[in-house]
Amino acid sequence: MALAEPLPEPADTPTDPETGGTLIIDLAAIAANWRALAHQALTVECAAAVKANAYGLGLEPVAAALGKAGCKTFFVADLAEARRVRARARDATIYVLDGCTPEGSPAFVELNARPVINSMTELAEWDAFVAARNWQGGAALQVDTGMNRLGISPEEAAALAPRTQTENHGITLLMSHLACAEIADHPLTVSQIKLFRDLRGLYRGIPASLANSSGIFLGDSALCDLARPGAALYGVNPTPGRPNPMQGVVELTGRILQIRRVAEGQTVGYGATWTAKRASRIAVVAVGYADGLLRSASTSDDAPGGKAIVAGKPCPFAGRISMDLVCIDVTDLPDGAVHRGDLAIFIGAAIPIDDFAAAAGTIGYEVLTRLGMRCHVAYRGLDPNP
């Protein structure tokens, strides 16, 4: 079997001898992706979704990098994340997507953060708190235009619209969320855009936000006043089926512990799901599903799975990924090409995040949020502790 040209080697970042895997996060690439998305959004302000610990990549260093790049508005999931962003972005506007509770409302004053109001009950509770504290920090109002997840109904939004003509109405943003933004002509995308634009007309003078990562690429119809990309910042392709306009952000490598020979007919790994069809050489690598290498990317006799780059060549997994280890079939590499202590690349320039996710039967979002749980994490491109 002819081998392709060598692929890029791992980034020149020291590994940690105390861990099997290393996750390299390029903060400069995240900043560059934000600038590219801000340019794509034209004259619309570009915010950043940094929920879920900045999609698993580290909330504090990512928020600092984005703030330095010019981002002034952040979206987080909860108050705990808002607190972490505030520590790195003193003057930023922070929206909390999970909204507020009576018990948690005082923290919004402490952090100068804004809840995203998702129900009429929540709005009543927030109004009562605001009145009691004379707080004027504002809140976003989310409308459910078809996701059927969080948000008030369009009818409730229409009934509330006259409120914006009163003094101190407290609504600083009208927002909704696209369910199928990556499919421009999806009927739900079309109907959500139309419905939101109709509602936006009732809230004149209030900034509005609809476009997520993929929504930015839908054009003017989805762009309102504020775009809020998430996954695209971290290298996930916002335009599936087309070339990825984003830079890759992460590289996951693992240390090879052993090269072993497996006779034809022998099996590898739990469940004996992979059988050597010839005399084979197997590289055992110290990375597993505890490091975010999803078990669903395993390879069996009946189904292909993921691959890794070893000695510059793509090599398939052999058998099930276990908690701490993965086996890789390196039989097609020349003898002596790979040794104990070498690195295998699981995600990087030659295996983008979306490609690994596809091999695991999932999406890049899930992969990102599971990385770094145990690996040595190294940042490059910008100082993670400015």
> Residue 209's domain is classified under what CATH number?
3.20.20.10
Residue 349 lies in a domain: yes
Whether the Cβ atoms of residue 343 and residue 256 lie closer than 8 Å to each other: yes
Q: Which has the closest alpha carbon to 55: 183, 246, 229?
A: 229
pTM of the full structure: 0.93
Whether residue 374 sits in one domain with residue 308: yes
| pLDDT attached to residue 168 | 87
On the CB side of 213, CA atoms within 13 Å amount to: 21
Whether residues 260 and 161 share a domain: the answer is no
Between CA 264 and CA 296 the distance in angstroms is: 25
Six-digit token string for 203 = 């809230």
- Spatial CB neighbours of 33, under 8 Å, sequence gap ≥ 6: 232, 233, 234, 235, 246, 247, 249
- Taking the C-alpha atoms of residue 364 and residue 233, their distance in angstroms, rounded to an integer, is 12
CATH code for position 277: 2.40.37.10
Write the CB contacts of 187 (distance below 8 Å, at least 6 apart in sequence). Answer: none
What are the contacts of 96-105 at 24+ separation with CB within 8 A? Answer: 97/51, 97/150, 99/150, 100/125, 100/126, 100/129, 100/139, 101/125, 102/129, 104/79, 105/129
- Sign of the C-alpha dihedral computed for residues 291, 295, 297 and 300 taken in this order: positive
366 in any annotated domain: yes
Out of 204, 234, 264, pick the residue that ends a domain: 234
Residue pLDDT, tens place only, 225-253: 999 999 999 999 999 999 999 999 999 99
Question: Tokens 């003509």 — which residue?
Answer: 165
Amino acid (1-letter code) at residue 35: R
Structural domains of the chain, count: 2
Same domain for 175 and 304, yes or no, is: no
Q: How many CB atoms lie within 10 A of CB 11?
A: 15
The residues carrying an active-site annotation are: 51, 270
Same domain, 334 and 217: no
- Burial (0-12, 13-18, 19+ Cβ within 10 Å), 173: buried
- Print the domain residue range for 198: 27-234
Residues 207 and 267 in one domain: no
Count of alpha carbons within 13 angstroms of residue 358, beta-carbon side: 9
Check residue 382 and give its pLDDT: 79
Could you tell me if residue 99 is inside a domain? Answer: yes
Regarding whether 265 and 215 lie in a shared domain, the answer is no
257 falls within a domain: yes
What pLDDT sits at residue 384?
A: 77
Q: Which residue, 234, 256, 289, sits at the end of a domain?
A: 234
Greatest C-alpha distance within the chain:
79
292 falls within a domain: yes
The reply to whether 137 and 68 lie within a common domain is yes
Same domain, 286 and 143: no
Is residue 376 domain-resident? yes
Residue 166: count of CB within 10 angstroms of its CB: 8
- 63 and 87 in a single domain? The answer is yes
Together in a domain, 227 and 141: yes
160 plus 274 within the same structural domain: no
Residue 81 lies in a domain: yes
Instruction: Please give the pLDDT value at position 7.
Output: 43
Domain end point (choices 192, 211, 234): 234
Radius of gyration for the alpha carbons in the chain, expressed in angstroms and rounded: 24
Ranges of the chain whose pLDDT falls below 70? 1-15
| Shared-domain flag, residues 219 and 289 | no
Neighbouring residues of 266: CB distance < 8 A, sequence distance ≥ 6: 275, 276
305, 315 contact by CB (below 8 A) = no
Q: How many Cα atoms sit within 13 Å of 45 on the Cβ side?
A: 14
Q: What is the pLDDT of residues 138-178, one digit of tens each?
A: 999 999 999 999 999 999 999 999 999 998 899 999 999 99
Residue 352 included in any domain: yes
